[in-house]
Amino acid sequence: MKVAVSIIIPTLNEALGIERCLKNLQSLRERGVEVIVSDGCSTDGTRELAILYADNVIDTDPGRASQMNAGALLANGEFLLFLHSDTLLPAEFSQEWLTGLAWGFFPVKLSGVAWQFRLIERAINLRSRLSGIGTGDQALFIRRTLFESIGGFANIPLMEDVELCRRLKADSCPVIQRDPVTTSSRRWEQRGIIRTVVQMWHLRLAFFLGASPSNLVKQYYP
């Protein structure tokens, strides 16, 4: 059955947040949006929770790029929207927002209330507008035919979202939606705001200078 939009969510031990993410999508499911959870061998009950709220839950080897590719392979939508399990789409989101577009992403809002998060949001959104490159936290969306023509996500352990955007830019400029997605600030809260900002900018710069994602992932997950 063909649908307009398939939302693909890669998960790995996300039991604490997956229900909130999926419950936020139920009104879209009622309007014909397909929701697919691609689980990378979770051991905390993520899969069992997801079954209650998704159209399809599939088991794959862990690895965000391969999980999203596996979900895309089974999706029925004309558009593919890749959503992290700790990210919420705007309440007003509609399938019609993607009509006629090739690819793009959303501005981001962080869930934390500290004033520093407002600065981080602005920096992320300015960077993505100037560079034309979004990250997974910004809910990338891509017309299926374009996604297939470029071979989907590269099977790399980190920066798969940035690498994909670089290839997509060779086809066309991204469309950046007006309303932001809301993504969890837990990474900054757990690791420290300044430390995390420095680490993320370091990893992005190293990747653009040619560093191997296999080496960078060791720094991201020490």
User: Looking at the domain assignment, is residue 122 inside a domain?
Assistant: no
Q: Which domain holds residue 19?
A: 3-108+132-183
CB 26 within 8 A of CB 53: yes
**CATH number of the domain enclosing 24:** 3.90.550.10
Residues 122-177: pLDDT tens digits? Answer: 999 999 999 999 999 999 999 999 999 999 999 999 999 999 999 999 999 999 99
64 domain residue, yes or no: yes
Q: Is 120 domain-assigned?
A: no
CB 159 within 8 A of CB 207: yes
pLDDT at 1 over 60: no
Looking at the whole model, is its pTM more than 0.75? yes
pLDDT exceeds cutoff 80 at 8 = yes
Q: What is the mean pLDDT of the chain?
A: 93
Query: Has residue 154 been placed in a domain?
Result: yes
Go through 41-57 and write b for each residue having 16 or more CB atoms within 10 A of its CB, e for each that does not: ebeeebbebbeebbbbb
Note whether residue 125 is domain-resident: no
> How many other CB atoms are found less than 10 A from the CB of residue 194?
10
Q: Is residue 216 part of a domain?
A: no
Domain assignment present for residue 176? The answer is: yes
Q: Indicate whether 127 belongs to any domain.
A: no
Domain count, the chain: 1
In whole angstroms, what is the distance from residue 201 CA to residue 220 CA?
A: 12
Residue 220 has pLDDT above 80, yes or no: no
Summarize the confidence of residues 205-218 as an average pLDDT.
Answer: 83
Using an 8 Å Cβ cutoff, are 177 and 140 in contact? no
